[in-house]
Chains A and B, each alone.
Chain A
Amino acid sequence: MDIVVANELIKDYKTVRALKGLSFSVKEGEIFGLIGPNGAGKTTTIRIAATLLELTDGTLEINGFDVKKEPNKVREVISYLPEEAGAYKNLTGREYLQFMANFYGDQSEEVAQRGADITGLEERLDSRIKEYSKGMKRRLLIARTLMSLPKLAILDEPTGGLDVFHAHHVRRMIRDFAREHSVTVMLSSHNMLEVEYLCDRITLIDEGISVAQGTPKGLTEEHGVKNLEEAFLEVVGHD
């Protein structure tokens, strides 16, 4: 079953057309990657799916709900992590998780505890967030995104700006949790290594349209190259 169905997405910002008819679909339980260079339209797509931006044309359905017509229904099934997201720095990590968990009904204690477990931050969760390193903050935010067991977790550049150690930890968190709880993940990235490690399927985006779709392995084989980076360059016609 497809959790996400994007059909001919068009998005205009004043005079600039950011999406020019992007189409793709995401299957339930998979980790799906939107891959492309800066300015390709990944974040715009992600923000439309997160109900923050409005589509100019085309349709996008998440779990059967139209993001344009039923944004409140969509928000009940998604969980979104923006690129370079912050957290309330005067709250402790635990308070932050509890605050977010309180929006998820009767199970809020359980949800917050799950979030605490995902972070692996243990007693550091009782420190104020302003005392966290960038990596710790990102772990907290990833945990917040996953703890409610959403139908679809939307992650925009989940390891952007992190050092190798934290980036690796975050990738493992996402992969293990998604597998264990069958959470569907749609993420954007321009880190090809990350994509090969995490994603079951990807769509390569360039200048607002999808230029290729498939599994990372399938795309490299199809284009007869060693890795995804070379496959991407092959597809978009650059050296």
Chain B
Amino acid sequence: MTSPMRNIVSKEIKEILRDPRLFLSMVIVPLIIFPVMGMAFGTAISSTEEQLRTMEFDVMVLDNDGDIYGNSLIQYLNSTENMTVETLVGVNETEAIIQAEEQGFDAVVVIPPNFSSDMASGNKTHITIHSILETVSIFESAKNGYVHSILQNFEGALVAQNIANTNTTYTIDFFLDPIQYDEGTVLQGHQIPYAPESVAGFFMSQSTTIPIVLMMLIIMSAQLAAVTIASEKEEKTLETLLTLPVRRTTILMGKISGVAMMALVGAVAYMGGFLYYMNSVTSMGGGSDMTIESMGLGVDTTAVIALGLSIAFALLAALSLAVLMAAFTEDVRSAQSLTGLIVIPVLIPAFIMMFADPAILPGPVQGVLYAIPFSYPIMAAKGMFTGVGNDVLFGLVYQLIFTLVVFYIAGRLFSTEKIFTAKLEFKRKR
């Protein structure tokens, strides 16, 4: 004998899996979209690198100096592989730029008057670089970086020559960077052998993952829950369901459980795709060797349990809210629009806590954060390696109460005729 609850859960799952639109958007798309994004990003980066390696740079030099250091710079640029240099004299900067653009040059380098005399007399001087971009892209802006790096090499050679002229035994490295800093961070009693900026960056990248998962999980499950309720109303199957010999709270629980299970599958698919994307992006940038172990930290078991519970409670809270909201709509489309609003209380704590801890925020903002049940998984995630505070443990109780209250209201609504008669009406005032 199948229990009513199990019966409803299995029907919900079957329906979701067999609905091509839901299955595509929940499982297939997330599994494909992020790897495709990662591949697209990788292709763009590697082809940019390849282009920069092999392309010919055409640089126009406006030589307003005409003396030894200016000539030396032009000679240095000319000797650079893949670089063609054309020198221009006797025109102003604007004309030089117009000519360079018309003739398809990549950059204009302007050597100021008195460049050589300033260099010789030890006065600081300057060089202007105008990069000519055809479009705004990584590749185009990278061209500027290339010209700049060549000029810096020239500058380095000059510095080396000046140092050599002083007859000192010190190396150029010593002159340019005489002090090296070994930085460490102390975080809540843990000594971490990295600079605070690196530690903050690491934790930020870690703490963005939880809000992203949570956001996806909640939005997806809320939408799903809303769709299952609204489609029952739209297809007129709800009327039949509510006259069956089964408690209406069982129907609600069955629907919520079925959706929660499928939402978790969807979230895993999203996360799998997202992690693949993140790995492919970070590995291109060389990545960082910083790990939890290398920082001397361990995962706090209480925090992990708190995180799991708070995510589960947040999910249930979102589902109950979505079911409640969907009860006020007549069709799937309006249910989706209405439950889309749930994203707001998910985004607010995610963005605020990405940059600041609740403790340093003004009282009213703190109040808003603590009132939103979706804040607590993010708080728990932040405390994963350093331990969670009482606010997270309080949050678990609060989340549970919030969910029970919303579920109770939804249950009451389902137990009365309001499930058929309640409707949100937006009347325009004349």
A and B associate in one complex: yes
A100 touches B244 (CB 8 A): yes
Q: How many A-B residue pairs have CB under 8 A?
A: 75
B420 touches A106 (CB 8 A): no
Encode A59-95 as 1/0 by CB contact (under 8 A) with B: 0000000000000100110111110111111110001
A82 touches B417 (CB 8 A): no
A75 to B19, CA, bound (A): 30
With A81-B240, A102-B7, A108-B1 known to touch, is A91 a contact of B15 (CB < 8 Å)?
A: yes
A52 touches B235 (CB 8 A): no
Note all chain A residues with C-beta closer than 8 A to B245.
Answer: 72, 75-76, 103-104
Encode A86-120 as 1/0 by CB contact (under 8 A) with B: 11111100010001101111101000000000000
B244 touches A86 (CB 8 A): no
Q: How far is the CB of A117 from chain B (nearest CB, A)?
A: 20
With A88-B11, A90-B18, A90-B19 known to touch, is A106 a contact of B1 (CB < 8 Å)?
A: yes
| Most chain B C-beta atoms within 10 Å of own C-beta, residue among A13, A53, A82, A90 | A90
Note all chain A residues with C-beta closer than 8 A to B389.
Answer: none
A104 to B240, CA, bound (A): 14
Q: Is A127 an interface residue (CB 8 A)?
A: no
A51 touches B243 (CB 8 A): yes
Q: How far is the CB of B247 from chain A (nearest CB, A)?
A: 7
Q: Give the residue of B19, B236, B244, B421 whose beta carbon is less than 8 angstroms from that of A85.
A: B236
With A54-B416, A86-B236, A89-B235 known to touch, is A103 a contact of B243 (CB < 8 Å)?
A: no
A95 touches B14 (CB 8 A): yes
Note all chain B residues with C-beta closer than 8 A to A13.
Answer: 421
| Most chain A C-beta atoms within 10 Å of own C-beta, residue among B237, B244, B245, B420 | B245
With A54-B416, A82-B240, A85-B236 known to touch, is A103 a contact of B4 (CB < 8 Å)?
A: yes
B11 touches A91 (CB 8 A): yes
Q: How far is the CB of A157 from chain B (nearest CB, A)?
A: 12
Q: Give the residue of B1, B7, B420 whose beta carbon is less than 8 angstroms from that of A53.
A: B420
B243 touches A80 (CB 8 A): yes
A108 to B1, CA, bound (A): 8
A52 touches B244 (CB 8 A): no
Q: Is B290 an interface residue (CB 8 A)?
A: no
Q: Is B2 an interface residue (CB 8 A)?
A: yes
B14 touches A91 (CB 8 A): yes
Note all chain A residues with C-beta closer than 8 A to B417.
Answer: 52-54
Q: Is B164 an interface residue (CB 8 A)?
A: no
A51 to B420, CA, bound (A): 12
Q: Give the residue of A87, A90, A103 whose beta carbon is less than 8 angstroms from that of B7.
A: A103
Q: How far is the CB of B232 from chain A (nearest CB, A)?
A: 9
A108 touches B14 (CB 8 A): no
Nearest A residue to B16, CB-CB: A90
Interface residues on B, range: 20 to 34
Q: Is B242 an interface residue (CB 8 A)?
A: yes
Q: Give the residue of A50, A103, A106 whose beta carbon is less than 8 angstroms from that of B239.
A: A50
Q: How far is the CB of B223 from chain A (nearest CB, A)?
A: 17
Q: Give the residue of A51, A84, A128 whose beta carbon is less than 8 angstroms from that of B236.
A: A84
B420 touches A105 (CB 8 A): no
B247 touches A72 (CB 8 A): yes
Q: How far is the CB of B148 from chain A (nearest CB, A)?
A: 60
Q: Give the residue of A76, A85, A91, A105 whose beta carbon is less than 8 angstroms from that of B240.
A: A85
Nearest B residue to A141, CB-CB: B240
Encode B1-28 as 1/0 by CB contact (under 8 A) with A: 1101001000100110011000000000
Q: Is B186 an interface residue (CB 8 A)?
A: no
B18 touches A80 (CB 8 A): no
Nearest B residue to A54, CB-CB: B417
| Most chain B C-beta atoms within 10 Å of own C-beta, residue among A75, A76, A88, A99 | A88
Note all chain A residues with C-beta closer than 8 A to B421.
Answer: 13, 53
A104 to B246, CA, bound (A): 9
A144 to B7, CA, bound (A): 16
Q: How far is the CB of A15 from chain B (nearest CB, A)?
A: 13
Interfacial residues of chain A within 18-40, with CB under 8 A of chain B in the complex? none
A88 touches B243 (CB 8 A): no
A94 to B61, CA, bound (A): 82
A69 to B11, CA, bound (A): 30
A81 to B237, CA, bound (A): 10
Note all chain A residues with C-beta closer than 8 A to B235.
Answer: 86-89
With A80-B240, A84-B236 known to touch, is A105 a contact of B1 (CB < 8 Å)?
A: yes
Q: Give the residue of A81, A108, A144 whose beta carbon is less than 8 angstroms from that of B2.
A: A108
Note all chain A residues with C-beta closer than 8 A to B239.
Answer: 47, 50, 52, 80, 82, 85
Nearest B residue to A13, CB-CB: B421
B237 touches A86 (CB 8 A): yes
Nearest A residue to B237, CB-CB: A86
Q: How far is the CB of A35 from chain B (nearest CB, A)?
A: 22
Note all chain A residues with C-beta closer than 8 A to B416.
Answer: 54
Q: Give the residue of B14, B237, B247, B420 whose beta carbon is less than 8 angstroms from that of A87.
A: B237
Nearest B residue to A80, CB-CB: B243
A90 touches B244 (CB 8 A): no
Encode B238-259 as 1/0 by CB contact (under 8 A) with A: 0110111111000000000000
Q: How far is the CB of A52 from chain B (nearest CB, A)?
A: 6
With A90-B14, A103-B7, A108-B2 known to touch, is A75 a contact of B240 (CB < 8 Å)?
A: no
Note all chain B residues with C-beta closer than 8 A to A105.
Answer: 1
Note all chain A residues with C-beta closer than 8 A to B420.
Answer: 52-53
A-B pairs, top 10 by smallest CB distance, nearest first, are A86-B235, A90-B18, A80-B243, A102-B7, A82-B239, A76-B245, A102-B2, A53-B417, A86-B236, A50-B243
A-B contacts, 24 of them at CB < 8 A, read A52-B242, A52-B417, A52-B420, A53-B420, A53-B421, A54-B417, A72-B247, A75-B243, A80-B239, A82-B236, A82-B240, A85-B236, A85-B237, A85-B240, A86-B236, A88-B11, A88-B237, A91-B15, A103-B4, A103-B7, A103-B246, A108-B1, A128-B18, A144-B240
Query: Interface on B for A, CB 8 Å cutoff?
Result: 1-2, 4, 7, 11, 14-15, 18-19, 235-237, 239-240, 242-247, 416-417, 420-421
Q: Beyond the given A79-B243, A82-B239, A102-B4, could you list 7 further A-B residue pairs with CB under 8 A, ordered by the A residue number?
A: A13-B421, A47-B239, A51-B243, A53-B420, A85-B237, A86-B237, A108-B2
